[in-house]
């Protein structure tokens, strides 16, 4: 029943079909019972009239006249009637009804039909003053035949109506899936970074159209807020970068004449400029316009090109770096951004691991996906903090004493998102393992 749990549209259609089928069964049952009751009443009336006529003969001519009338009686209509007179001791005195003497009142009896053998009948048994019994009975074969005909008609009609109901349920499920898929696709596109996507709005003005209008209004508001935030960040970085660049140039000229304090100020200025450069780079990546320039490139070859530079960085930091890759692993992306990912991850590993720590970079194929991994044997990141460290300016307490601004992993996350890659932080036992899994379509 996974197909049912996974689709609200199917559940709604199934509930609608069950309600439709239950309603048909109730209507069919009510019609059958009403028809059966109507024919049963007609049988009782026929028996009542025949019994009343025979009792009139008994009152006029006594038992002799009653026996003569019973012997001459014929069925007055389509419902076959039989009658008989029994003595007080149960002997059959007259009539065409071959049965034993039943008890007085309304009874369901069995009689012997000359053509069909034992059969059932609805009988009224009247006790006469001398102890004799007058039995008038109607054969129930016609009622049973009518019941079977009604049931057959209802069964055929039910099959047709259930077929229509199944078709209607399938059409309803498809309609709901199509309507909901449009909203789902829009939401997925927004999550993937396509902030220009909007849900189409029909001309009916129904609930789905109103939901689409509300969703689009919400997306417009979110897009506006994000754009304002990015613009503020970019404007702030641009506005501050120019005077800081001038200040740096001025300090550099002063540093040529000596001065330890000037050199320190120059270093701090470089750090601030690097911070603003990182903020601008993250905003540029998150804006999404870079995706239009993506090309197919060999990620393994890129790692090979950078391995020498990365080795030098690790050697300067007193760390051991190992690289391994499978050749020819293609992804769709930006060479400069992916190189930035490799450099950031290696620098992050070097910054937060003790001297002599081992860092391993690998590019391999796993189940059709191209996978980039950077593993170290340092202290790692607690599981509860792994999602938080991907945000801007977030630094753990253990990292407060190390250089940095808390933007390295944020930039990696932004680049991974721009490439449609899944970024996960795991436990290397010991250490941290950062994994980027690129989508299958990137490798084609």
What structural domains and CATH numbers belong to the chain? 2-147 (3.30.450), 207-287 (1.10.287.130), 293-443 (3.30.565.10)
Quote the pLDDT of residue 229. 64
> What letter would DSSP give residue 387?
T
Distance of alpha carbon 339 from the chain centroid: 39
Radius of gyration of the chain (CA): 46
pLDDT in tens, 319-361: 888 888 888 888 888 888 888 888 888 888 888 888 888 899 9
Residue 190 has pLDDT above 80, yes or no: no
Calpha distance 274→280 (Å, rounded):
10
Distance (Å, rounded) from C-alpha 73 to C-alpha 399?
113
Residue 300 pLDDT > 50, yes or no?
Answer: yes
pLDDT at 419: 83
Query: What is d(CA 444, CA 433) in angstroms, rounded to the nearest whole number?
Result: 26
As a whole number, mean pLDDT of residues 367-379 equals: 88
Task: Tell which residue, 51, 20, 25, 27, has the closest CA to residue 122.
Answer: 51
DSSP assigned state of 326: -
Q: Cβ(165)–Cβ(21) under 8 Å?
A: yes
How many of the other CB atoms lie within 10 Å of CB of 358?
Answer: 16
pLDDT of residue 76: 44
Q: Is the backbone peptide bond immediately before 31 cis, with ω within 30 degrees of 0?
A: no
Tell me which range, 93-102, 190-199, 354-363, is most confidently predicted by mean pLDDT.
354-363
Q: What is the pLDDT of residues 387-399, one digit of tens each?
A: 777 776 665 655 5
Residue 298 reports pLDDT greater than 50? yes
Range picked from 1-15, 31-45, 283-297 for highest mean pLDDT: 31-45
């Amino acid at each position: 029943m996974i197909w049912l749990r996974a689709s609200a549209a199917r559940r709604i259609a199934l509930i609608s079909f069950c309600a439709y089928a239950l309603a048909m069964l109730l209507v069919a049952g009510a019609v059958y019972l009403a028809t059966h009751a109507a024919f049963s009443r007609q049988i009782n009336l026929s028996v009542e009239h025949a019994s009343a006529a025979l009792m009139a003969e008994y009152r006029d001519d006594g038992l002799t006249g009653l026996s003569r009338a019973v012997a001459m009686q014929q069925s007055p209509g389509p419902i076959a009637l039989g009658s008989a007179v029994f003595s007080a001791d149960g002997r059959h005195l007259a009539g065409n009804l071959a049965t034993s003497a039943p008890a007085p009142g309304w009874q369901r009896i069995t009689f012997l039909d000359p053509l069909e053998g034992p059969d059932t009948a609805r009988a009224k048994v009247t006790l006469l003053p001398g102890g004799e019994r007058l039995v008038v009975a109607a054969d129930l074969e016609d009622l049973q035949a009518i019941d079977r005909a009604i049931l057959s008609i209802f069964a055929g009609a039910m099959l047709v109506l259930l077929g229509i109901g199944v078709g209607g349920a399938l059409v309803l499920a498809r309609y709901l899936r199509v309507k909901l898929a449009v909203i789902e696709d829009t939401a997925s596109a927004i999550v993937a970074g396509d902030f220009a996507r909007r849900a189409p709005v029909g001309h009916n003005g129904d609930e789905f159209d109103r939901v689409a209008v509300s969703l689009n209004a919400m997306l417009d508001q979110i897009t506006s807020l994000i754009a304002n935030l990015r613009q503020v960040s970019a404007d702030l970085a641009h506005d501050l970068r120019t005077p800081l660049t001038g200040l740096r140039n001025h300090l550099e000229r002063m540093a040529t004449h000596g001065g330890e304090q000037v050199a320190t100020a120059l270093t701090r200025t470089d750090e601030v400029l690097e911070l603003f450069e990182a903020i601008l780079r993250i905003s540029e990546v998150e804006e999404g316009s870079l995706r239009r320039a993506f090309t197919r490139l060999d990620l393994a070859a890129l790692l090979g090109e950078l391995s020498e530079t990365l080795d030098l960085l690790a050697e300067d930091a007193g760390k051991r770096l190992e690289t391994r890759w499978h050749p020819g692993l293609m992804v769709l992306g930006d060479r400069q951004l992916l190189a930035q990912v490799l450099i950031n991850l290696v620098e992050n590993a070097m910054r937060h691991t003790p001297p002599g720590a081992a860092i391993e970079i690998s590019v391999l194929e796993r189940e059709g996906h191209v996978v980039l991994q950077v593993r170290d044997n340092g202290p790692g990141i607690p599981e509860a903090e792994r999602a938080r460290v991907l945000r801007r300016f977030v630094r753990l307490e253990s990292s407060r004493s190390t250089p940095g601004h808390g933007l390295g992993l944020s930039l990696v996350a932004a680049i991974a998102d721009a490439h449609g890659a899944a970024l996960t932080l795991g436990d290397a036992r010991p250490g941290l393992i950062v994994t980027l899994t690129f989508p299958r379509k990137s490798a084609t």
